[in-house]
Structure 1
Amino acid sequence: MSALIETHDLTLRFGDRTVLRDVDFAIRPGEIVTVVGPNGSGKSSLMRALIGGLKPAAGRVTRARGLRVGYVPQKLVLDRTLPMTVRRFLSLPRRVTDEAAREALARAGAAGTGQQQLATLSGGQFQRVLLARALLDRPQLLILDEATAGLDQPGAAAFYRLIEDVRHDTGCAVLMVSHDLHVVMSASDRVICLNGHVCCEGTPQVVSEAPVYRALFGEGTRGALALYRHHHDHHHHGDAQSHDHPQAERHAEQAEA
């Protein structure tokens, strides 16, 4: 199956600093793929490159012809004194019909909020409104850059369940950046770990350990680690890389921390 979007030997730099190097990545129709990694590992930079907001220093990004992408940012800072309803927000910068707005809000779990002021929404409601806005163009690929930042664990879990429902109902692929390993792993078909390059990738697995996670995040993440089997038989620092990608169950059971 052809990729919706893929990168080939992608390298990203800010000035003299290389934030990502030699990244080969692809996402195919219907997949849910999660990108994890420590702060500064290049996760958000990869998302920016995929949507065209950051020019590669080397390598290339290839998109399917006419690809429709919906994007939910990590945060959107609005002036709390700005009088703007949810309905008006959904029509910026391009006006949408009332029917399209109602449908998007309902699909995002925010039905009935159209006439509310943005400033009155809770954090979870606001993220659902951002999701509704991303769904307006019926995307083939939905990209979420730490969209649950600032939500508590139950709120984040509910949001990820909503994303699974959206994928099921619309057939769109989903690419997520997340720190919520214990919540998001079991919702993913594939997980990619970044730390300036692709450290490892594969499908979630029950009661498996990932040494690279312990090295990056500490022993306290063992409960999350149990959701992921790590296949890490490649070399770092510019050497040739190879990955083993066995078939695995799509969903993993929650392991005890």
Structure 2
Amino acid sequence: MSPDNLVEITGLNISFSENSVIENVSMVLKPGQITTLIGPNGAGKTTLVKAVLGLLSPTSGEIKRSPTLRIGYMPQKLHIDTTFPLTVERFLKTAAFASVADRQQALESVRAENLLKQSVHSLSGGEMQRVMLARALLRKPELLVLDEPAQGVDINGQVELYSLIASIRDKYNCSVLMISHDLHLVMAATDQVICLNHHICCSGHPEQVSSDPSYMELFGVPGAENLALYSHHHNHQHNEHGDIVPLSQSESEDADHSHCGGHH
């Protein structure tokens, strides 16, 4: 395994009974890089993440991790019995051993320091996501794994949360692997995109993937309302009327430069 990589996956296959969920997936997670997994429901994204975490064993193929790799994990949802009294402070104490100062710093990193004494049952969806993110940070992870971190958060909150994740990557100098259902909300905050539909359909930089035929076959051409959310972060073109032309149209020639799996 290369010392420059945190995780190396080669020829990964995962099946449940006769149902093949992950097919011949190979990928690398590098230090300091944000990698986003996208794909339709049932594409195997969560299964792949569980394999990276070591919670699932592959049917075949290989997963290599850096020997001392520290991973912080934020699940998609957390069900806490409403009859169980639990403050944010006590919830954070359930993580790996951390000092009072560590817990305070983690909450400050996700801009939720004012929530320390609140009941977790009183939190909004966005506040709970930030608290779970803070808990994952208490491990001082080299790899932060986030399963749909913006689940249950409105669109403006999602854009803010993805920006926050990018700033956490810089502050903690960690790599991030996250699942997202909408590439165009996360484009400004990711380095590498892997489009998964049991196998890897295409991968590369966000602009490459958004214009790849395999991506458009799965998701269609993005609507103007989504483009408006990220277009100011990225280069775009205008037609003769002065309208913004989506990258998927104006840069379709870039599709040839992304890595397309091509098993359809």
Note the C-alpha offset of 1:209: 2.1
User: Alpha carbons of 1:175 and 1:233: their partners in 2 closer, same or farther (altered >3 Å)?
Assistant: closer
Which of 36, 39, 42 is residue 38 of structure 2 equivalent to?
36
Report the secondary structure of 2:13's partner residue: strand
Equivalent residues of 1:7, 1:60 under 8 A apart: yes
Over the matched positions of the two proteins, sequence identity in percent amounts to: 43
Report the secondary structure of 1:109's partner residue: coil
Equivalent residues of 1:143, 1:175 under 8 A apart: yes
Q: For 1:4-83, what aligned pairs fall within 5 Å after superposition? A: 4-83=6-85
Which of 172, 175, 187 is residue 174 of structure 2 equivalent to?
172
1:244 paired residue number: none
Which of 232, 247, 252 is residue 226 of structure 1 equivalent to?
247
The answer to which of 92-101 and 65-74 deviates more is 92-101
CA distance in 2, matches of 1:193, 1:142: 19
CA distance in 2, matches of 1:95, 1:42: 32
Equivalent residues of 1:143, 1:176 under 8 A apart: yes
The answer to which of 68-77 and 226-235 deviates more is 226-235
Q: State TM-score, norm by structure 1.
A: 0.86
1:240 paired residue number: none
Superposition RMSD in Å: 2.1
Gaps of 5+ in 1: 238-257
CA distance in 2, matches of 1:201, 1:8: 15
Note the C-alpha offset of 1:123: 0.7
Equivalent residues of 2:202, 2:212 under 8 A apart: no
**Where in structure 1 do 4 or more consecutive aligned residues deviate above 6 Å?**
none
Report the secondary structure of 1:112's partner residue: helix
CA distance in 2, matches of 1:12, 1:211: 26
Q: Report which of the two has the higher share of helix.
A: 2
CA distance in 1, matches of 2:209, 2:71: 34
1:236 paired residue number: 263
The answer to which of 6-15 and 205-214 deviates more is 205-214
Gaps of 5+ in 2: 228-245
Equivalent residues of 1:4, 1:63 under 8 A apart: yes
Equivalent residues of 1:81, 1:119 under 8 A apart: no
Note the C-alpha offset of 1:94: 4.1
**How many equivalent pairs are there?**
237
Cα-to-partner distance string for 1:204-236 (whole Å, 9 max, x where unaligned): 228962221221123455866737953355542
Note the C-alpha offset of 1:98: 1.3
Cα-to-partner distance string for 1:46-66 (whole Å, 9 max, x where unaligned): 000000111100011110011
